[in-house]
Structure 1
């Protein structure tokens, strides 16, 4: 089939290139407005208890958790600016889409809204609407309210502002990453190929892939919610995978030219061999990232959408646009450095021979080293991203820091407890509220029956806490562990059904959703991977071996992440970040999918070439040495290049994006060196021909449905001493 596709592309190469250019331009035009369609945040579970509480607050009470905070500073003290402060609150309350405005000046000078030094005060409000509407409104509000006027200095913060700034920072990071990556990658490709023409081809494929990916994300964002993280994923994953696949194809094409084939025939043979590997690899990466779709968090699910789309798109462009370009440039692509040595004296052959002569001690030492690197992972503490992931210049971060250090309570972080139909009347509700106020780290509980502190009523209630036969309670927390407070509140017996919401509850529920869904996602991906790798290799053992080795390299990667981002090592080298003492719960999940997919990507590259050599009649160890020799340099180059791409994440101003910039290169490079160059040859040497064993029914199944390399013509045999 791929040979027929190659023939079609060769006959209609101009039409293919023109169509690709037109579609890329359309995608680029759509990308100009893509950020306007994406959403910030996406780290909550809408179906969890906190999500249902938020829906009830919005639909029944017309309320929402405070997501806008104005930090107001008056040089002479906030009590000297009563008129200006009151006017500020009235002006904000008159804004469309803004409700529940509470300020120091309209609340009877509530002490919890006044800073410890007396020069700062808070204005709290809720911006209504969906994420897109909130993002647009908070941007306009920030432009109008931030700054100095009437003796007041105003800074805009709150959850809405945090998400707005994260959107803008992500957009800035994507642009910065592209500016860094493209020239660095071009230089590296010239070094790899020794030819400017050959080096430009992968970048051309990457450029088309990225623009098409942006266009598809624009379409997707028009029909469903999409996180802004999807844009970063398309940009960097598209560039990385397109270069990977292009390297594989261009290298094989140059190899076939070196064997004396004409360009057209070399393209057909390349498509039938390396082209099949690209298809299989793209499916493998898509499966690994597709597992993220099982999680209910929008940010995680969006990465699945972007990853699956980008992997398949990178393969499609590599199998259509790249052959057309190869046909245009012909033999000029073959100029420069030779793709592989045929005399059996290359580095990877020598490494494989060395490892396979001493498989047990070498594999033991490397395995022990990887496990040692992974030991910090045993102490991982999962948290959730807050304003501290942003740079110090962030307005939302500055406001949150001031609130945390200068104000006695966290009004903006209040928990909301929704009671749909309170049984037992006001007495039962009052007793429940009083009981909640006795919990550690609770400053005050407000509801329709009154305000409560330390088990006693301290002020009368307000009617705004009741609507349509339902009521809600607002729990103002102290400075303690917010997650523990959520669990304590949920553990308090209630004579009626309750739903606990609020920012802390959202974080607790999201972490629980990740933890609960992770086994199913990992299990589903592992099963599909075993099936796919069996179809590639025809072996029952090799798929399991590939999974174990990839998991081993990921263990070391996660250990390094904890050591760096949880404990704060290498802070200065990474541009500086705030050490929070935990790791955002979404990072291990998303990083696992990305790193595992890329690790299996390289396993497919290597195993497909080893399988090809094994089918030519070589011994099991010879096949490993020959396959590693022929694919080793190009896979190493691909790993280095994609690592350079992902290192662009470290330039991000968002801490958890830096974690991707560190974790992904670590995973890729360890898999491409220690796992591929040492552990896999050692394991296959110990297994010998049994490595390729499968029971007769499965052999017949593979003979009918299996995928394999199909290069034409014999390859030179490379002798190897380890048998």
Structure 2
């Protein structure tokens, strides 16, 4: 492979304008097709194979009007006054007037003062007034699709709430337009800016720092374009682009850093620049290919979960990695050829770098030598930190509490007045293909009334889809819906237990000829959590197992893959532990509104961080093995690997930590949790596992670390990841000139 990649790098360097033109043409073609076809992302969230998913499908089929209404923004305006709302009628009427004036309000007359509603229709008093008249509910329905809610819609409502909040009247809101989020892009821009600064420090030159950044922009742009274009031919949810952007930036810059750094070293050795580019791609590029392969496995394996959205994320991320690898192998040498002798200029005078051929000690060399000399204290210190950080993982609870911080006050006021389950209703959907659903629906209602944890069970009734008598849709209905409000909060164990008990009634209704399913957002989130919980261990097993096999071939060693995968497990457990401690336990008082760890975060984190971890493993350890098989003893090879690889790995890790940490500046706890967990995971894995534990254990093992059992050595192909076959290619012609580039 190294010989093939050598020719790829050399060709791309020499025929730079053809290669650059091909990348530009690919971008232009993709975006021209997007403009012509105008593909649309899917707006629905599918959960096939779950009871909640089946319920939602049947709601769409048999109750389309209700489903359409649920797909539009309905915001619950919650108002409260300790001295009772009756004394604040004037302020509430003014609030109602401004709410009716908001855009797209469906039926302004239904936006009413809850005190007036309770007086005019006493039968509805319990649904609009609670806590002895101290809490009220105003329902605001706007004809805005929930998937089309913008931050402007939210800001318009918030400004109305702020205007009327005060003088003893509390005004809050939850759901509906309060779910509007800012469009992506800010964190990516911050990431690119931070990456540029760090690469300037890494290379000490502006153009060298700009080349990986340009590659990242082109790679991510092409990937997003391909993903958008594919939405024309298959169902793709726009949410899937999130992980694509995040991982695409990460690997594009990581791989480009590695190639440019190696080119700088090879250029300093002398010879033709095209040969130097070929050697850089033939050596570092081989490592990039196998690093990319492990990342593709990590993200493509998300398909085992069986959730379409996560499958789309995984496949999109896999495409991003493939594009990043192709960019590193072709676009990088083409750009190096285009910039020529200016690739490592202009120099930044206050950033000092040793020349690539300089044998003087660097910080990486000194640190590597310290680890090699005292491996046991370094291993013990790192593992103590990781184990202590992992202790809280025993109390980790997963959930889907997606209530943002700016809705918490409304949630608490709603619970105070109407119970915690308001807004988290369970939708029981029944259908029969044989006659009417009456008997089964009545049986289900009676069964639910007997269950604990249901708000106002005696008032439960069912609604049918009959068309014979518009005034009574229950007549002739073959489908029925029962709306059940739990006493407990949507994310609580009690609500989950209630949902399962209702599903347990299906055996009774089936005997009466009707199937029964439980849906709604609460049920969907519960099913999602259960499915993610059950998939986590198989997912980790698939990813780690396949990556372990690949790394046996890459490093021709059993110890290196074993140390790398076990180290990853330590870093992940430590990340889960400290995230639980901070965000769920509320340690140090850093988080005002604690919540369980998001159900999708563990799998999301494993997929992203495992890929990055294997990048760092390959980049750092490959150079160690390269020096070992070319004559250095095991310990000196480790130090040499630090000298040549530590700067790249450190730069790449700091870039990703900074990008992920940028999410912590968001006002919402959910975004903070994701940013914190990802940043901490990269820190633990890159700096404690890859930079300390792995080389320290390799130092203890000595030559044994690089040996395979004889029987296995015969079976494993020689991938030549170190590029031994091309290491000195192009350096033996006459009058080679050593060129200073650093």
Aligned counterpart, 1:558: 576
CA distance in structure 2 between the aligned counterparts of 1:505 and 1:238, rounded to whole angstroms:
33
Secondary structure of 1:442's match? Answer: coil
Q: Does 1:597 align with 2:602?
A: no
CA distance in structure 2 between the aligned counterparts of 1:57 and 1:584, rounded to whole angstroms:
27
Aligned counterpart, 1:474: 483
Determine which of 682, 687, 691 is the counterpart of 2:696: 682
Q: Does 1:659 align with 2:662?
A: no
CA distance in structure 2 between the aligned counterparts of 1:537 and 1:415, rounded to whole angstroms:
53
Determine which of 531, 539, 546 is the counterpart of 2:557: 539
Q: Does 1:500 align with 2:500?
A: no
Q: Summarize the Cα distance change of 1:138–1:15 in structure 2 as closer, same or farther, 3 Å threshold.
A: closer
Q: Does 1:278 align with 2:288?
A: yes
Determine which of 414, 421, 434 is the counterpart of 2:446: 434
Q: Summarize the Cα distance change of 1:147–1:554 in structure 2 as closer, same or farther, 3 Å threshold.
A: closer
Between 228-237 and 371-380, the greater mean CA deviation after superposition: 228-237
Aligned counterpart, 1:380: 396
**Structure 1 position 142, deviation (Å):** 8.0
Q: Does 1:243 align with 2:253?
A: yes
CA distance in structure 2 between the aligned counterparts of 1:156 and 1:463, rounded to whole angstroms:
36
Aligned counterpart, 1:61: 63
Superposition pairs of residues 95-110 of structure 1, within 5 angstroms: 109-110=123-124
1:521-568 CA distance string (max 9 Å, x none): 212112210121112111123212211011112222222211222233
CA distance in structure 1 between the aligned counterparts of 2:99 and 2:719, rounded to whole angstroms:
75
CA distance in structure 2 between the aligned counterparts of 1:531 and 1:697, rounded to whole angstroms:
15
CA distance in structure 1 between the aligned counterparts of 2:544 and 2:21, rounded to whole angstroms:
40
CA distance in structure 2 between the aligned counterparts of 1:107 and 1:652, rounded to whole angstroms:
43
Determine which of 634, 639, 645 is the counterpart of 1:620: 634
Q: Summarize the Cα distance change of 1:269–1:507 in structure 2 as closer, same or farther, 3 Å threshold.
A: same
Q: Does 1:4 align with 2:19?
A: no
Q: Summarize the Cα distance change of 1:152–1:327 in structure 2 as closer, same or farther, 3 Å threshold.
A: closer
Q: Does 1:641 align with 2:652?
A: no
**Structure 1 position 682, deviation (Å):** 2.1
Contact 1:352-1:624 at 8 Å conserved across structures: yes
Where does the alignment leave 5 or more consecutive residues of structure 2 unmatched? Answer: 80-84, 109-115, 166-170, 348-352, 465-470, 511-515, 732-742
Aligned counterpart, 1:719: none
Determine which of 113, 135, 144 is the counterpart of 2:147: 135
Superposition pairs of residues 485-496 of structure 1, within 5 angstroms: 485-491=498-504, 494-496=507-509
CA distance in structure 2 between the aligned counterparts of 1:408 and 1:494, rounded to whole angstroms:
30
Secondary structure of 1:473's match? Answer: strand
Contact 1:38-1:228 at 8 Å conserved across structures: yes
Task: Give the structure-1-normalised TM-score.
Answer: 0.82
CA distance in structure 1 between the aligned counterparts of 2:9 and 2:357, rounded to whole angstroms:
27
1:626-672 CA distance string (max 9 Å, x none): 22222112211121122222222223344333223222222222222
Q: Summarize the Cα distance change of 1:331–1:305 in structure 2 as closer, same or farther, 3 Å threshold.
A: same
**Structure 1 position 371, deviation (Å):** 0.8
CA distance in structure 2 between the aligned counterparts of 1:243 and 1:558, rounded to whole angstroms:
27
Superposition pairs of residues 139-538 of structure 1, within 5 angstroms: 161=177, 165-166=180-181, 169=182, 171=183, 174-334=184-344, 336=347, 337-338=353-354, 340=356, 342-343=358-359, 345-388=361-404, 392=406, 403-408=414-419, 410=421, 412-421=423-432, 429-445=441-457, 463-464=472-473, 468-480=477-489, 481=492, 482-491=495-504, 494-497=507-510, 498-538=516-556
1:304-334 CA distance string (max 9 Å, x none): 1332121111111122221111112223334
CA distance in structure 1 between the aligned counterparts of 2:650 and 2:690, rounded to whole angstroms:
10
CA distance in structure 1 between the aligned counterparts of 2:476 and 2:387, rounded to whole angstroms:
57
Q: Summarize the Cα distance change of 1:560–1:515 in structure 2 as closer, same or farther, 3 Å threshold.
A: same
Q: Summarize the Cα distance change of 1:383–1:350 in structure 2 as closer, same or farther, 3 Å threshold.
A: same
Contact 1:340-1:633 at 8 Å conserved across structures: no
Q: Does 1:607 align with 2:617?
A: no
Q: Summarize the Cα distance change of 1:17–1:107 in structure 2 as closer, same or farther, 3 Å threshold.
A: farther
Secondary structure of 2:241's match? Answer: helix
Secondary structure of 1:413's match? Answer: coil
Contact 2:376-2:696 at 8 Å conserved across structures: yes
CA distance in structure 1 between the aligned counterparts of 2:431 and 2:273, rounded to whole angstroms:
73
CA distance in structure 1 between the aligned counterparts of 2:540 and 2:311, rounded to whole angstroms:
15
Task: Give the structure-2-normalised TM-score.
Answer: 0.80
**Structure 1 position 26, deviation (Å):** 6.1
Contact 2:555-2:622 at 8 Å conserved across structures: yes
Superposition pairs of residues 9-24 of structure 1, within 5 angstroms: 9-24=12-27
**Structure 1 position 613, deviation (Å):** 1.4
RMSD: 4.2
1:156-179 CA distance string (max 9 Å, x none): 97755455x13xx2x1xx322234
Secondary structure of 2:456's match? Answer: strand
Contact 2:463-2:480 at 8 Å conserved across structures: no
CA distance in structure 2 between the aligned counterparts of 1:672 and 1:449, rounded to whole angstroms:
57
1:163-200 CA distance string (max 9 Å, x none): 5x13xx2x1xx322234233333222211111112111
Secondary structure of 2:586's match? Answer: coil
Q: Summarize the Cα distance change of 1:385–1:21 in structure 2 as closer, same or farther, 3 Å threshold.
A: farther
Secondary structure of 2:485's match? Answer: strand
Contact 1:291-1:304 at 8 Å conserved across structures: yes
Alignment length, in residue pairs? Answer: 676
